[in-house]
Amino acid sequence: MSKNVLVLPGDGIGPEIVAQAVRVLDLVNTQFNLSITHESALVGGSAYDETGSPLPEATLTKAKAADAILLGAVGGPKWDGLDMSVRPEKGLLGLRSNLALFANLRPAILYPQLADASSLKPEIVAGLDILIVRELTGGIYFGQPRGIRTLENGERQGFNTYVYSESEIRRIARSAFEAARQRGKRVCSIDKSNVLEVTVLWKEVMEEVAKEYPDVELTHMLVDNAAMQLVRAPKQFDVMVTGNMFGDILSDAAAMLTGSIGMLPSASLNAEGRGMYEPCHGSAPDIAGQGIANPLATILSVAMMLRYSLDAKEAADAIEAAVSRVLDQGLRTADIASQDCETVTTQAMGDAVLAAL
Amino acid sequence: MSKNVLVLPGDGIGPEIVAQAVRVLDLVNTQFNLSITHESALVGGSAYDETGSPLPEATLTKAKAADAILLGAVGGPKWDGLDMSVRPEKGLLGLRSNLALFANLRPAILYPQLADASSLKPEIVAGLDILIVRELTGGIYFGQPRGIRTLENGERQGFNTYVYSESEIRRIARSAFEAARQRGKRVCSIDKSNVLEVTVLWKEVMEEVAKEYPDVELTHMLVDNAAMQLVRAPKQFDVMVTGNMFGDILSDAAAMLTGSIGMLPSASLNAEGRGMYEPCHGSAPDIAGQGIANPLATILSVAMMLRYSLDAKEAADAIEAAVSRVLDQGLRTADIASQDCETVTTQAMGDAVLAAL
Ligand SMILES: CC(C)[C@H](C(=O)O)[C@@H](O)C(=O)O
Ligand SMILES: CC(C)[C@H](C(=O)O)[C@@H](O)C(=O)O
């Protein structure tokens, strides 16, 4: 049976990096006889420019029907002045929420070939391999009520609601424990339970779910301490699980510890394991159109997609091995450039991965 | 006219480090003829143990009357099981809120003598000097409604409210711009304006207040990017201004960049410049009572207190110079211990600062 992938290039460097990733997908599709088909659709700022909406109905319909989604990135200064309701980010948030992609898996891995790229001392980050499991369809990102109102005294007041129910916490807890079982068997849950009631419930439900996973160790850490510990001694972590907002902040900090965020893929999964795959980095409008962006995070997102949603583990392994080989060959895009290595374009990096396959 | 300081040792290592800081205060009081008197009161877990409240009425009354407050730290595992309403942290939050200490100044400075202590590469952090201005009496820490309720379907739901009014944002903006005028004249305001309405208002008001300070440059950064930039290139920042929750996370990350959080003081000021001064670090229950905690952050908090609230700039300068001299002498407490330096106790470190004065 054929599987269908929806490709959403998005904005900024999105189209350039996705183009290389699709070439890789096409090649493994042939090599491994995967019967994967794909089509493209608009999302983000480019969708707004064309249709007036960052998530056109046609895109959402295709997304719901697809077996998996490959996304580039959305957003850019061009759309900063727009009303929040039609900003590029709403396209991304709308996909997450409409497809119930509640489990966001963000690995922060240091490639040994790129150890120098980190701003941290080598001994602090060598061998780093953390998985951040971020809740993606709830919390303060989606909580109601929200908005800006005018108070009786005439001044304006902005407000958002941070909210989680037991069932939302329970399902992301399970995602974290399941993931930990495949790895180091340790989950650290991040909260601010000394101040925020919503995270008191979070912590309680984590404890409850932990009983179903006696082989996995659960610890808790306050979010401010977690931000410190990521800087001080990141290798202490195996799997970190947290809500939408804390996850946004901590996963970016963790990714940057590697110094090579241009290498990091991510997966956003729903209860059936269907998912959206995208690089951890953003749309980098400052370098868009120059052909110098790093396509490897997107190519590695294809590998994650093959593994988690398309049941093609061998093709995934092959892509990851090819990327590693290309790094061994000393090829680097500008973001991870280093003295003794050759700096190559987006296209040349794609060529090299294809050749290595 | 005599000035009165309220000393709140608190929990964990609080009493030990505050004892040394008070010795320093007493000495400069005599040396510089400052007419400062001080008395102590209970706060946090130790106050709860004694009185059933983490912020007894007597303490609050004294705090309101004092010209300045010196706090050690609150909290510890002993009180983790308590209901949120009487946890040690409520003592701290109650002081902040009742005294309207809305402007929290948290410097992240790398002492050249301690450059090795950082987990970051020397070239990334050498000369680091950031000031984080955190709003301290509003935002999600104090927003209503809040709690844990049971939904119609029987499951529990936790909720908190992230809220800021224009006037709250305006006053913290002014604190940040005023501080920047005394420094590098650059303010970076941190928000999540691509998702949260409350921070859309935050960003707008920052722009508005910036017009009153044409000599100070204002830029904006999303909180996830700020967490990355602190890891990647922290020296790009001069003053960062942000809300209570983001400020909690980012200021701890920034402090940890220095590798010597045991050195960092903080000030929490109200509209009249009265304030509470405390080390950035916590109550460190794991090492409490061993006499090995670093008293320097608390001693430097005394210096901040003298400068900002007690109009005694020279005494403040003298304390800071004395601390620097003690570091030059190669004395280190365990948290900042290094091979070629002598590791000393809390008391011995206090002795050394007194001698250097
Ligand atoms: C673009 C933005 C809405 C998004 C988020 O905050 O979730 C991004 O930062 C991310 O982490 O995927
Ligand atoms: C103890 C806790 C309530 C407090 C906070 O979150 O504000 C602390 O982390 C701080 O930063 O001063």
The pLDDT assigned to B22 comes to 98
SS3 of A241, please? strand
Average pLDDT (A273-285) is 94
The pLDDT assigned to A339 comes to 87
Amino acid at A159: F
What distance in angstroms lies between residue B105's CA and the mean position of ligand 2's atoms? 13
Domain boundaries, chain A: 1-107+262-357, 129-257
Average pLDDT (A148-164) is 97
β-strand pairing of A147-150 with B186-191: unpaired
Give catalytic status of residue B340 as yes or no: no
Give the whole-angstrom CA distance, residue B26 versus residue B20. Answer: 10
Average pLDDT (A325-349) is 95
Average pLDDT (A160-171) is 98
B301 φψ region: left (φ > 0), alpha (ψ -120 to 50), beta (else): alpha
> Per the annotation, does A49 bind a ligand?
no
Give the whole-angstrom CA distance, residue A67 versus residue A311. Answer: 11
Q: A352 pLDDT exceeds 80?
A: yes
| Residue of B125, B197, B248 to mutate for A, most A C-beta atoms under 10 A | B197
Of A84, A198, A248, Cβ closest to residue B200: A84
Give the whole-angstrom CA distance, residue A252 versus residue A239. Answer: 15
* Minimal-distance CA residue to ligand 2 atom 2: B89
Helices marked H in A119-196 — which ranges?
Answer: 122-125, 166-181
Radius of gyration of chain A (CA): 20
B38, B35, B45: which is closest to B10 by C-alpha?
B45
Q: A1 pLDDT exceeds 90?
A: no
B1-110+261-357 CATH fold: Isopropylmalate Dehydrogenase (3.40.718)
SS3 of A32, please? coil
What is the DSSP code (8-state) at residue B14? H
A248 lines ligand 1 (CB under 6 A): yes
B228 lines ligand 1 (CB under 6 A): no
How many angstroms away from the CA of A279 is the closest CA of chain B?
Answer: 15
Strand order in the sheet with A217-222: A36-40, A3-10, A68-73, A275-279, A265-269, A103-109, A129-135, A239-242, A186-191, A217-222
What's the CATH number for A129-257?
3.40.718.10
pLDDT tens, position by position, A47-93: 999 999 999 999 999 999 999 999 999 999 999 889 889 999 999 99
Give catalytic status of residue A224 as yes or no: yes
pTM: 0.96
In this structure, which ligand is nearest to the CA of A195? 2
**For every one of its 357 residues, what pLDDT tens digit does chain B have, with 9 covering 90 and above?**
799 999 999 999 999 999 999 999 999 999 999 999 999 999 999 999 999 999 999 999 999 999 999 999 999 999 988 988 999 999 999 999 999 999 999 999 999 999 889 999 999 999 999 999 999 999 999 999 999 999 999 999 999 999 999 999 999 999 999 999 999 999 999 999 999 999 999 999 999 999 999 999 999 999 999 999 999 999 999 999 999 999 999 999 999 999 989 999 999 999 998 999 999 999 999 999 999 999 999 999 999 999 999 999 999 999 999 999 999 999 999 999 988 899 999 999 999 999 999
**Catalytic residue selected from A48, A111, A141, A164:** A141
Give the whole-angstrom CA distance, residue B78 versus residue B23. Answer: 29
Kind plus residue range of the DSSP H or E element containing A159: strand A156-165
> Are B157 and A146 inside 8 Å of each other by CB?
no
| Residue of A110, A151, A197, A283 to mutate for B, most B C-beta atoms under 10 A | A197
| Residue of B256, B260, B281 to mutate for A, most A C-beta atoms under 10 A | B256
Give the whole-angstrom CA distance, residue B244 versus residue A204. Answer: 24
Q: How far is CA B239 from CA B107, B174, B179, B230, in A?
A: 9, 12, 8, 12
Residue of A nearest to B224 (CA): A249
> Are A197 and B161 inside 8 Å of each other by CB?
no
Average pLDDT (A193-217) is 97
Paired with B8 in beta bridges are B71
Residue of A nearest to B166 (CA): A156
In this structure, what token pair is assigned to residue A66?
């697809």
Q: How many CB atoms lie within 10 A of CB B147?
A: 14
How many angstroms away from the CA of B165 is the closest CA of chain A?
Answer: 4
Q: DSSP characters for B20-82? A: HHHHHHHHHHHHTT--EEEEE---THHHHHHHS-SS-HHHHHHHHH-SEEEEEE---GGGTTS
> Are B119 and A121 inside 8 Å of each other by CB?
yes
Provide CB contacts within 8 A for B153, sequence distance 6+: none
What distance in angstroms lies between residue A174's CA and the mean position of ligand 1's atoms? 23
| Residue bearing tokens 């089509």 | A39
- Cβ contacts from A onto B, under 8 A: 181
Chain A partners within 8 Å of B141 (Cβ): 195
Give catalytic status of residue A248 as yes or no: yes
Give the whole-angstrom CA distance, residue B264 versus residue B172. Answer: 21
The pLDDT assigned to B28 comes to 98
Q: How many residues in chain B?
A: 357
What distance in angstroms lies between residue B253's CA and the mean position of ligand 2's atoms? 13
* Minimal-distance CA residue to ligand 2 atom 3: B89
Amino acid at A83: D
Peptide bond into B112 cis (omega under 30): no
Four-point Cα dihedral B309, B311, B315, B320, nearest 10: 50
In this structure, what token pair is assigned to residue B331?
């004395």
β-strand pairing of B275-279 with B265-269: antiparallel
SS3 of B147, please? strand
Identify the CATH class of A1-107+262-357.
Answer: alpha beta
SS3 of A172, please? helix
> Per the annotation, does A291 bind a ligand?
yes
Provide CB contacts within 8 A for B62, sequence distance 6+: B6, B39, B41
